[in-house]
Amino acid sequence: MKDPTTYFPGEAAIGASESQSSGLRASRRAFIKGIIASGAVAASSGYFLAGCAPGKGPAAGAVERLISLNINGKTRRVDVLPNETLAMTLRNKLGLTGTKLACDRGECGACTVVIDGVTHYSCSMLTHTVGSRSVRTIEGLEGPDGELHPIQQAFIDELGPQCGFCTPGQIMSTVALLESNPHPTREEARRALSGNLCRCGAYDHYLNSVMRAAEVS
């Protein structure tokens, strides 16, 4: 049986030869690397506008207030509305689009960030309630010279993502897990990532990524 981590049915479907297949694997790896490094997946216009849809905008008469947030170790001053979620602030006001917004109702985990060491769904938290707590997003993982965090590298090495949309959330949950439990069992890792859904069903690859990250961290 073909190794599912290296064999992709699509290669056969497009009639790729052995050498072409290895090229496809390499380009897929490069593609995943791009996703994980930037945390930026192209957004459809419908997705981008979701936060501006009727019923999601500011309440009549609502005014923005200037607050300070601690994001990835830096103080960020930003005007926020009373009903503004942390996900919207991060993405639309601070340009931190690595935090994804999918269900926008606390069900999928795409928007996961780490606040004071604990994972939170940023779509389900009002920004003004964050206070002085330390917020970490996928953008905060890179090293001083832009190098990938070992967890990001492990996700690449295990070809964890498929489309990559849920990946920043999966990685942030892994960060919180490994900081509190550096050597989890596979079952503990499964439980820690159980709040992160993946429509591509890449769960086993993600678990392999977590276990590899635990080995190298």
Query: Which residues contact ligand FES by CB under 6 A?
Result: 101-104, 106-111, 121, 123, 161-166, 198-200, 202
Cα 72–Cα 172–Cα 103 angle in degrees, nearest 5: 105
Q: How far is the CB of 107 from ligand FES (least distance, A)?
A: 5
Work out how close the CB of 67 gets to ligand FES at its nearest, in angstroms, rounded to a whole number. 21
Q: How far is the CB of 197 from ligand FES (least distance, A)?
A: 7
- 104 torsion bin: left (phi>0), alpha (psi -120 to 50), beta (else): left
Encoded tokens for 141: 């993982």
Q: CB nearer to ligand FES: give 52 or 68.
A: 52
**Least CB distance from residue 195 to ligand FES, whole Å?**
8
Nearer to ligand FES, 33 or 75 (CB): 33
Nearer to ligand FES, 161 or 184 (CB): 161
Positions of E strands within 2-146: 65-71, 74-80, 112-115, 118-121, 134-136
Residue type (1 letter), 156: I
Closest of 74, 36, 67 to residue 152, by C-alpha: 36
At closest approach, how far in Å is the CB of 63 from ligand FES? 26
Exposure letters 156-183 (e unless 16+ CB within 10 A, then b):
bbbbbbbebbbbbbbbbbbbbbbeeeee
Of the two residues 86 and 214, which places its CB atom closer to ligand FES in the complex?
86
Q: Which two tokens stand for residue 128?
A: 């003004």
Give whichever of 129 and 144 is closer to ligand FES, judged by the CB atom. Answer: 129
